[in-house]
Amino acid sequence: MALAIVLKNAARIQATPKILKVNFTQFVNGADKRSKLLLKVREFVPKRNMSADHSKLWPIERALSIALIGITPWAILSPSRGLDDVLAISTVIHFHWGLEATIVDYVRPILVGPVVPKAAMGLLYVLSISTLGGLLYYNHHNIGIGSTIQNFWAIKSKK
């Protein structure tokens, strides 16, 4: 992804040799000149093109992935409406975050235009919300996810 950002900002990055030609003796002469020089330097520094800082979300994603290792068998071995809801919500969030990262990484506006990434994210939100709604409906109006998996295991093949 870093390579994509560098390639996307190639025109701005090519302007950086102008920064190297700055006479650094101007820093000694005074604070006013120093601030003007820093403003000129900031004009050439490539800006980050991400919409938000996702560094805080990454540990939450990892914690949810690790929690799913315990939630999934627990919901299957002792099915209840509450555990089925926790399994449904955590699974949908896990898939949503994974597909969102895929869309952000591979459906970039520089490659496909500005409309397709927004449409893909909108479709992802519709898909995630409808999946969560369907699973919660199934948990509350039918036997639930854990009991369904137990019933699949109970089916024996007839030979």
Q: What is the number of domains present in the chain?
A: 2
Residues 63 and 117 in one domain: yes
CA distance linking residue 99 with residue 88, whole number of Å: 16
pLDDT of the residue at 45: 44
Q: How far is CA 94 from CA 1, 65, 145, 147, in A?
A: 21, 7, 17, 22
pLDDT of the residue at 91: 97
Residues 24 and 73 in one domain: no
pLDDT of the residue at 33: 56
Which two structure tokens, joined as six digits, stand for 80? 């209840």
Residues 113 and 61 in one domain: yes
Say how many C-beta atoms besides its own lie within 10 A of residue 38's C-beta: 10
Q: How far is CA 135 from CA 13, 90, 148, in A?
A: 48, 11, 12
Residues 93 and 23 in one domain: no
The answer to whether the predicted template modeling score (pTM) of the entire model surpasses 0.85 is: no
Residues 26 and 82 in one domain: no
Residues 130 and 69 in one domain: yes
pLDDT of the residue at 46: 46
**Contact between 103 and 120 (Cβ < 8 Å):** yes
The whole domain housing 110 covers 57-154
pLDDT tens for the chain, 159 residues: list them.
555 555 555 555 455 444 444 454 554 555 555 555 555 545 544 444 555 566 788 899 999 999 999 999 999 999 999 999 999 999 999 999 999 999 999 999 998 999 999 999 999 999 999 999 999 999 999 999 999 999 998 887 666
In a domain, 33, yes or no: yes
In a domain, 50, yes or no: no
Query: What is the 8-class DSSP label of residue 47?
Result: P
Residues 131 and 64 in one domain: yes
CA distance linking residue 85 with residue 132, whole number of Å: 9
